[in-house]
Amino acid sequence: MSTDSKSHLLTQFGISPETVEMLEVSQQKHPHIIDGVLVDLINGIEVIADHVKVSKSRNFPSRILDSVLGKSKERQDIINQNVLCGLEATSNWLQRHDGDFLKIRLSLSQTLDHVSKNRDAIKVLQQRSNRQDVKVGRMIGALNEIILSAHDTNNRIDELNYRDKAQSHLQSETDRWESGRNIYPGEFVQLYNLLDNLQHGDFGFYLNYGKSELIEKERLKANLLDKCRILLSKRLGIESGAVLNSKHCWSMDEISRECGLLSSREKESLSYLSMWSSTDTPMTHLLHSLVANSNVVHKRSVVVISRVVDRMVNEHFSFCESN
């Protein structure tokens, strides 16, 4: 109901405009007070005001007469009754107000309790999330270690595989030379042919493989030197191990004569294969000069066989120097 409708209705019930105005002001200042409380309270105040006004307007004789007739007591009873009604209305409102306030406090308390529980739940979830992050971090670290280990294992397997192939290649090439299937005449050229085949096969791949262990490379290279010395001892008719003696030499004339026995096609093939040589690789460069019909100028007339073997092996596999 609008304020104008309330004012009109109260005026029709005989409430004075001043009282209606007081009611409107009270509702504006205290909008939480229900209309019924204001009506009861202001009605009581208006009745009291009327009776007080009547009492004040009575003169002394009239007061004595009213006292004798009991009208004074009647007015006082009406005043007291209206005061009591006003107090009861106020008390009832205060009780309802307290009840509403308690409900509000209870609702607020429950809301705060829910907020607190939600906050604690969020903290628990955050702690779980943090623990999960730690677990995930550990799992990622463990996974990275597994991956690295797998790479290392794979590299190790590759290294072992390449090493086995290199050893097999070395054995097959030395067997071929020992059986006489090295097609070139002369041990100097045959030695070069053996080393060239090894350099461009599994043996050379392993020695040039970056992930191979150096100690294994050195071991294979030493094995190659041993096999070359043993085979040369057999083919030259030298006592085993005596080939290391510096008294066993090749003359330059003998090496030139062996190269001269090669066919033109063999010379072209060997010249092409040894094109990489230079003065830094003197034994291979010597062969290249002889098969390419270049003028060969050598300071010595003889070369020590053991030194030829060592130098030619190092020229083909220069990752480390042999002992």
Statement to judge: residues 82 and 202 lie in one domain = no
The proportion of the chain whose per-residue pLDDT surpasses 70, expressed as a percent, equals: 65
Contact (Cβ atoms closer than 8 angstroms) between residue 204 and residue 317: yes
- The answer to whether residue 175 sits within a structural domain is no
Q: Is residue 26 over pLDDT 80?
A: no
What's the maximum distance between 2 C-alpha atoms anywhere in the chain? 177
Counting beta carbons within 10 angstroms of the beta carbon of residue 106, is it exposed (0 to 12), middle (13 to 18) or buried (19 or more)? Answer: exposed
- The answer to whether residue 173 sits within a structural domain is no
What residue type is assigned to position 11 of the chain? T
- The answer to whether residue 81 sits within a structural domain is yes
**Section 25-42 average pLDDT:** 58
Statement to judge: residues 206 and 312 lie in one domain = yes
What average pLDDT is seen over the chain? Answer: 78
Summarize pLDDT for 55-97 with one digit per residue, the tens: 656 565 666 665 666 666 676 667 666 666 665 666 676 667 7
- The answer to whether residue 202 sits within a structural domain is yes
**Section 37-65 average pLDDT:** 60
Q: Is residue 183 over pLDDT 60?
A: yes
Range of the domain at 248: 182-316
Distance CA 207, CA 230 (A): 22
Last residue of a domain, one of 125, 153, 172: 125
Summarize pLDDT for 127-154 with one digit per residue, the tens: 888 888 888 888 898 888 888 888 888 8
- The answer to whether residue 138 sits within a structural domain is no
- The answer to whether residue 143 sits within a structural domain is no
Structure token pair of residue 205: 């791949």
Q: Where on the phi/psi map is residue 228: left (φ > 0), alpha (ψ -120 to 50), or beta? A: alpha
Statement to judge: residues 114 and 210 lie in one domain = no
Q: How far apart are the first and last CA of the chain?
A: 117
Statement to judge: residues 221 and 288 lie in one domain = yes
Q: Is residue 247 over pLDDT 50?
A: yes
Give residue 260's pLDDT band: very low, low, confident or very high (50, 70, 90). confident
The proportion of the chain whose per-residue pLDDT surpasses 90, expressed as a percent, equals: 13
- The answer to whether residue 147 sits within a structural domain is no
pTM of the shown model: 0.55
The values of phi and psi at residue 246, to 5°, are -70, -10
Last residue of a domain, one of 97, 125, 153: 125
Q: For the chain, what is the domain count?
A: 2
Give residue 16's pLDDT band: very low, low, confident or very high (50, 70, 90). low
Statement to judge: residues 189 and 297 lie in one domain = yes
The more confidently predicted of residues 214 and 9 is: 214
- The answer to whether residue 131 sits within a structural domain is no
Contact (Cβ atoms closer than 8 angstroms) between residue 255 and residue 284: no
Q: Is residue 321 over pLDDT 50?
A: no
Residues with Cβ within 8 Å of 133's Cβ and at least 6 positions away in sequence, in order, are none
Q: Residue 322's pLDDT is what?
A: 40
